[in-house]
Structure 1
Amino acid sequence: MARASSSVLVFIRQNPRTPQNPNSQIRNLALGTREGGHGGEEIKQNPNHEPSHNAHNDFTEIAKEVSTITRTKPRWEQTLLSDFPSFNFSDPRFFNELMKHQNNVLLSLRFFHWLCSRNGFSPDSVSLTALFDALVEAKACSAAKSFLDYTGFQPTAASFECYLRCLFEVGLVEEALDVFDRLRGDGIFPSTTTWNSALSGSLKVGRIDLVWKLYSEMMVSSVVANVDVETVGYLIRAFCEENNVSKGYGLLRQVLEDGLDPGKAAFNKLISGFCKQRQYARVSELLHTMIAKNNAPNIFTYQEVINGLCKRGKQLEGFRVFNDLKERGYAPDRVMYTKMIHGLCQMRWLGDARKLWFEMIQKGFIPNEYTYSVLIYGLCKIGNLEGARKLYKEMCDRGYRETTVSYNMMISWLCVNGRVNEAHELFEEMPQKGVVRDVSTYNNLIRGFCREGKTVEGKNLLKKLLVQGLQPSTPSFTPIIRNLCQGGDIEEAKKLWNDMQNWGLIPFVCSRNHIITGLCEQGFIEEGMEWLLEMMQNKVKPKKKTFETLVRCLSQRDRSDDTLLVLEIMFSIGYTLKRGVCQTVVKKLCKENSHFVEMHLGEILERV
């Protein structure tokens, strides 16, 4: 196994990842090899009491019969003794023989518990070790833990390490940490392989904090001298998971200089991270590095590249990479086809998206729910709702169950295209088909109703949302507040504003603008000014239209000083004034203070 050089260890020490809670106790783990172990003694047969050859044959034949019975007979415990009235099942040698012929370790465990319930059975260490190791090999970690608790059995050091690796592999990290403590208490020092399993398991379950805690223990234990390139690969991935891609890249460069390769998973994580940061030059460099190191990028590497490009609005580049892959002989799978179809739909390239759709089917990949959804999305995006509904029906006819996501997509686009009644029909259909409505479902229809001027229906939907016990979001309130302000019901709008804040939601800037405009239109200019000043104090930039409405209302009411104050604020944040609004303001000011206008007219006109 390749070992990281001292220079890599220097890099790691110089770039420590301090745990978020410095006071938390890091489990004190150690490495090494324990000589001997509990329960590992070899059973020595008394030469004067060795079983005869015939007795052994009896064990074998009966073990075969019993293993068949335990696999096929539901309640064999009630009849097994009567089936073999003269046989001594308590002989430990029989259980060992049964283990050889029983191909289901859980049935062996069941038989073991049955034996323990009988008087006279005392399992030997060989039987216990064999059963425990079989449970671990089958990844039956919960059963293995129960077995240890039930028997009080002390496995060998090697068996304990296998158990520990199994726990991390299946994601039972908390249980694994308890085993680490138990190993420490027994003076057992895990190998580097076990440490790497711990790091890998922690990464799988997203416990990056645990990766750094375990790594800290490695640094203070003797295992640090044996940190290998696999360990470094896990550390690179941990850096990337924390969006600290630059440190992960620095560690990669260090191991590459030492002639080592941390593996595709580390490269893939770095590529994904640099795609998120739009550092495509780094992505290209990493791809070339992989090829130069005879570690050619696989289909998953390119999936990261294409996915990163499409998510960052570079669908065209992603499409080029996709086509280049096929020319090089790579075979995209359904996931990659789906991602590329989605990217093309985002660009409104429905023709190319359809070509890929049929190409995917020709390659033997049947579209799944998500693939259908992305093409339906594309058809909706270009306004082809009939095509979208036809494809939606095809998806349902193929046996794919309608989901909340697919319903939300159709409801949203029907509302966008002014077909709110049809969207409402789908909304009512959802519970009939057992599909759950979520907040997005309600928000889409509330927005659709409000866009059509049906504010009452929107308010009723909001009430239903709350009655259902769903947590509303800011878009649940925003379109209703807008309509209420535009309709002159400013008090109701302010009530909804307060309700939104009571839910702990942060209102959109547009809602503040709507309320200021509504207050001014209703003649509550003082209150409108207060809202405007509060926005400025909170460093929230009002819209230009809000300023213009406020200036117009102030000038119409001959509030010259306030008009000039609002103009000054408006100009200070970079807005200009429409010619029509400027003419209204100048006329009003000329009537009140012509001398002042002569002094500041040039400045006002410069802002037109």
Structure 2
Amino acid sequence: MGKPPLFFSNLCIRKSPNPVQNTNPQNRFRNRSFCNDKIDGQCEEFGKNLQNTDVVFAQEISNVIQTRPRWEQTLLSDIPGVNFVDPNVYNEVLKQQKNVLLSVRFYYWVGSQNGFSPDPVSCNMIFSRLVEAKAAIAAKSFLEETKFEPEPGCLESYIGCLFENGLVEEALDVFERLKMAGHSVSLKTWNSAMLQSVKAKRVEIVWKLYSDMLEREVVGDVDTIGYLVQAFCIENKVAEGHKLLQQVLEVGHVPSNSAFNKLISAFCKSGDYAKVSALLHTMIAKNCSPDIHTYQEVIHGLCKRRMRHEALRIFNTLKDRGYFPDQVMYTTMIHGLCKMKWLGDARKLWFEMINKGIFPNEHTYNVLINGLWRTGNTEEAEKLYKNMCERGYGEFIVSYNTMINGLCLNGKLDEAHVLFDQMAEKGIVPDTITYNSLIQGFSKRGKISEGRYFLDQLLKQGLQPSTASYTVLIEKLCEAGNVGEAKAFWKDMVDRGVEPAVSAHDAMILGLCEQGNVAEGMEWLGTMLKSRLKPQKQTFERLVQCLSKADKLSDALFVLDYMLKMGFEVSEYIFLSLVKKLCQDNSSHFEMCFGRILERSRGS
């Protein structure tokens, strides 16, 4: 997509031409009638060619507006006698002016002078240049200010410019205006609109555009089909996209690599590597050789599915075949290796990338730093973070989150808090990831009050806590015997639409058991089983113990039976405690029940 800020900055730093040598332009330029007062031959010849005069005026005006920052205040006095509202003059200035922003400024300035009349030629010239420069917002503003009607061809280019800048709705409005005016929009513009809609993942627009094409009997080409294939993939209708691709291939057309890559990515996500392999062979057979982006999708998909050994094999094979992995592929592979805790191989790729002149970006740094934190390489993680900051990448929310999370994981809570305070000093707003890392980090180390504080701060910012953040607080509160407050957090979690983790259920049951509230613990167990959640072995065994101790042998045997049915192996001391209790109770009924449970467990 276009990047107006970069465009504007490039214009602002454009090298100015040589400044005007004559500091008194009044001596050089007066009203054109001055030529009639001269009798020498040179001036008579100059007066015969007013067009040349316009060119000279335009050059002088251009020099002034390029070299003086506040030229609007002095231009009339700097160059007196010039009829600035003459279309010949200001159109010539606009032709010579290469800086489109200065052209717009000059046009608005001329428009503020008495006697100015808008000229369609100049409006089209400025508007076209803004569109060519991908300055969509400036072009939109110019249209609204001048209220002129650009030529249809220029509007088609404007549609593409709007799409590339993410102004999808505005682009569709212009598209509709052209269609309503009866203009036959070119297939190039239709395809451009579909391409940008695919990039924006606005699939509904892709299908609307295609429907309009069919209605207007516009015949698409192989690019059109490629965008439809990608749209199917975005909608997770991969089978339909694959079928459409096959139909196109059967009639002899071959879409671009983008359509193949999208399908390959989708099949990688679903783990259908047979189809991935078939698509790669099809690309080669159709002289549509897989490029580095194709293999990037394959490697990324393999890493996502934890098939990182295979991903590394393909990555190394590509290098052996002469492919040149880019920064994205190196980062993907380093990330996969860090996930496998193969830090040695990750470091090797890191230095290999740098030696090839491919320097890591912020994402690459954070991937390796995160891997180092997760494997306990704290000193190396902090050293690499310092190096990242020296390269200007440390002042971003992602970098702070990586460090805060790593510090919390490794118990360096004071340092994590310092970084959190530093974010406020630098105007970097913490997000959900920041707060959740701090909530979990402090709570896991038993600092529940600090965990609660960060949860309160998160909620004050209107952010949504994660399941993990609530879970760790509930678990630690239950361990501390504060089941009442844990229940309050549970209610708040459910009210906010956050799905409780299975381990949070276990924590509540264990907490209730420790408090002697076994009956309520049984209720929580029943809720878990109804929801088809599998309690931990520890939860079952603690319930059996507590129920047995409370002389609730019937419930204890029920829980034991359920535990065995779910495939858990019961610890020997649980059986011994039950046998002891049954002997003390001297109840033949419970003994028979216990015997049947044991027989079923042996049978299974």
For Structure 1 versus Structure 2, the TM-score category normalised by the shorter chain is: 0.7 to 0.9
C-alpha displacement of 1:522: 1.6
Distance 1:317 1:89, change over 3 A: same
Which residue of 125, 129, 133 maps to 2:124?
129
Cα pair 1:482 1:511 within 8 Å, conserved? yes
1:593 is aligned to 2:587: yes
Cα pair 1:519 1:525 within 8 Å, conserved? yes
Match of 1:62 in 2: 57
Q: What is the 5 A alignment of 1:388-537?
A: 388-401=381-394, 403-420=396-413, 423=416, 427=420, 431=424, 436-466=429-459, 470-537=463-530
Match of 2:9 in 1: none
Distance 1:557 1:252, change over 3 A: same
Match of 1:364 in 2: 357
Instruction: Write the distance in 2 (CA, Å) between the matches of 1:594 and 1:365.
Output: 78
C-alpha displacement of 1:378: 2.7
CA deviations over 1:233-264 (Å, ceiling 9, x no partner): 11111111112222111111111112112111
Match of 1:257 in 2: 250
Question: Secondary structure of 1:516's partner?
Answer: helix
Which residue of 174, 178, 191 maps to 1:179?
174
Cα pair 1:135 1:141 within 8 Å, conserved? yes
Instruction: Write the distance in 2 (CA, Å) between the matches of 1:387 and 1:472.
Output: 31
Match of 2:335 in 1: 342
Cα pair 1:525 1:553 within 8 Å, conserved? yes
Distance 1:131 1:381, change over 3 A: closer
Instruction: Write the distance in 2 (CA, Å) between the matches of 1:317 and 1:92.
Output: 68
Instruction: Write the distance in 2 (CA, Å) between the matches of 1:150 and 1:441.
Output: 44
Instruction: Write the distance in 1 (CA, Å) between the matches of 2:57 and 2:404.
Output: 66
Instruction: Write the distance in 1 (CA, Å) between the matches of 2:508 and 2:353.
Output: 51
Question: Secondary structure of 2:542's partner?
Answer: helix
CA deviations over 1:33-58 (Å, ceiling 9, x no partner): xxxxxxxxxxxxxxxxxx98611111
Instruction: Write the distance in 1 (CA, Å) between the matches of 2:443 and 2:536.
Output: 21
Instruction: Write the distance in 1 (CA, Å) between the matches of 2:80 and 2:441.
Output: 78
> Counterpart of 1:257 in structure 2: which amino acid?
E
Instruction: Write the distance in 2 (CA, Å) between the matches of 1:411 and 1:148.
Output: 48
C-alpha displacement of 1:592: 4.2
Distance 1:396 1:78, change over 3 A: closer
Cα pair 1:171 1:202 within 8 Å, conserved? no
Match of 2:156 in 1: 161
Instruction: Write the distance in 2 (CA, Å) between the matches of 1:489 and 1:152.
Output: 68
Instruction: Write the distance in 2 (CA, Å) between the matches of 1:457 and 1:80.
Output: 64
Instruction: Write the distance in 2 (CA, Å) between the matches of 1:219 and 1:180.
Output: 16
C-alpha displacement of 1:222: 1.7
C-alpha displacement of 1:296: 1.9
**Greater relative contact order (Cα < 8 A, sep 6+):** 1
Cα pair 2:267 2:273 within 8 Å, conserved? yes
User: Where do 5+ consecutive residues of structure 2 fail to align?
Assistant: 1-45
Cα pair 1:414 1:422 within 8 Å, conserved? yes
> Counterpart of 2:184 in structure 1: which amino acid?
F
* The 10-residue stretch of structure 1 (277-286 or 466-475) with the greater mean CA deviation from structure 2: 466-475
Question: Secondary structure of 2:49's partner?
Answer: helix
Instruction: Write the distance in 2 (CA, Å) between the matches of 1:153 and 1:461.
Output: 55
Distance 1:414 1:130, change over 3 A: closer
User: Where do 5+ consecutive residues of structure 1 fail to align?
Assistant: 1-50
CA deviations over 1:2-37 (Å, ceiling 9, x no partner): xxxxxxxxxxxxxxxxxxxxxxxxxxxxxxxxxxxx
CA deviations over 1:407-463 (Å, ceiling 9, x no partner): 444444444445555555555555456655444344434434444444444444444
Instruction: Write the distance in 1 (CA, Å) between the matches of 2:135 and 2:148.
Output: 17
Distance 1:565 1:275, change over 3 A: same
Which residue of 187, 197, 200 maps to 2:195?
200
Distance 1:162 1:385, change over 3 A: closer
Which residue of 227, 232, 256 maps to 2:220?
227
> Counterpart of 2:494 in structure 1: which amino acid?
Q
Distance 1:415 1:606, change over 3 A: farther
Instruction: Write the distance in 2 (CA, Å) between the matches of 1:373 and 1:65.
Output: 53
For the aligned residues, what is the CA RMSD? 2.8
> Counterpart of 1:206 in structure 2: which amino acid?
K
1:241 is aligned to 2:234: yes
C-alpha displacement of 1:368: 2.8
Cα pair 2:565 2:601 within 8 Å, conserved? no
* The 10-residue stretch of structure 1 (173-182 or 69-78) with the greater mean CA deviation from structure 2: 69-78
C-alpha displacement of 1:468: 5.9
Match of 1:101 in 2: 96
CA deviations over 1:351-395 (Å, ceiling 9, x no partner): 222222221121112233322222223333332222222322333
Instruction: Write the distance in 2 (CA, Å) between the matches of 1:154 and 1:120.
Output: 22
> Counterpart of 2:312 in structure 1: which amino acid?
F
TM-score by length of 1: 0.84
Instruction: Write the distance in 2 (CA, Å) between the matches of 1:429 and 1:114.
Output: 46
Which residue of 183, 202, 210 maps to 2:205?
210
Question: Secondary structure of 1:57's partner?
Answer: helix
Distance 1:567 1:350, change over 3 A: closer
Distance 1:205 1:604, change over 3 A: same
> Counterpart of 2:433 in structure 1: which amino acid?
S
